[in-house]
Amino acid sequence: MQSLNDPSNAFNSFTGSEHIFKWISLNNITQTAVILFAVFTSIFIAWKLITAVNYGYSLWYDILNINEHIAEYGPQNRRGKKGLEQLDKAAHVYLFEQINSAVNNEGAGLKDITFNSMYKSKAPLLEQNEVVHLKDVSALISKANKMGWVACVMLLLCIAFVRWKNLAMPSLSLFLKQLGLLLVSFLVAVVVIRPEPIYDFLHEVAFPQRHQKWFFYYQDSLMTTLMDAPDLFYAISAMWLVLASITYVLIAQLLSKFLKFKATH
């Protein structure tokens, strides 16, 4: 029988602790990865949903009274494009839908978007600098979509790894705690920094330095008039945030409850 002071006992004890430490570390890393990719996947799915419904433009058109905005600034257009204000809601929604379709299709067809103005039938809606900007938006969306698909694949791989290694899936409470932390951090940032500086900063960071023309006066841009920017973008962002949160909770429910993996709190 080995004594308590036997060096082999100490070695075995150390080896066992090392294995436990490695297991805990691997488990924590895996859980963090699952939650992280669940967040990105939720954001991506929510983006696809709001894109499919034209970013809710028809809804926000009524809530934000965009028709009144168009009625005020449409006649003030300094580019000789009068008459946008004379179109009805269906026509405005259709013009926005064409822009949506184009930016989600590598910018194809942006120059072909027209409307019937006071002076000319089938007048081009967009100026050249607006076309350039929207193509930059399209390129950004394309990159984001690729990243979104990568996030979906990585989430599935993490789930497969958890099952293969028989590790613990994050519990629903852990998923929700992380969501709460993210939402509180985001809301604090919006309240402290304010939406407009954040909006400007994101534009400056996201778009190429050579194409820094992303600010358009209503009087010079039917695009901006049609979109009632930036108010419409704030509304779309709020809708996106809500849908992403709901999607995240549904994914969390699926992973922590229905897949029946081990759960940790």
Structurally, the chain folds into a number of domains equal to 1
The verdict on residue 24 lying in a domain is no
Q: Any idea what the Cα angle at residue 193 is, between residues 191 and 194, rounded to 5°? A: 60
The verdict on residue 4 lying in a domain is no
| Backbone φ, ψ for residue 194 (5° rounding) | 85, 150
The verdict on residue 11 lying in a domain is no
The verdict on residue 192 lying in a domain is yes
The pTM assigned to this predicted structure is 0.82
What is the distance, to the nearest Å, from the Cα of residue 63 to the centroid of all Cα atoms in its chain? Answer: 22
The verdict on residue 81 lying in a domain is yes
Which residue ranges of the chain lie beneath pLDDT 50? Answer: 1-4, 7-15, 23, 263-265
Q: How far apart are CA 236 and CA 242, in angstroms?
A: 10
Q: What is the pLDDT of residue 27?
A: 76
The verdict on residue 28 lying in a domain is no
Domain carrying residue 244? 35-264
Contact 247, 50 (CB under 8 A): no
Residue 228 three-state SS = coil
The verdict on residue 168 lying in a domain is yes
How many Å is the Cα radius of gyration of the chain? 26
Contact 70, 218 (CB under 8 A): no
Q: How far apart are CA 161 and CA 120, in angstroms?
A: 62
The verdict on residue 1 lying in a domain is no
43's CB contacts (< 8 A; 6+ apart) are 148, 240, 244
Q: How far apart are CA 190 and CA 201, in angstroms?
A: 13
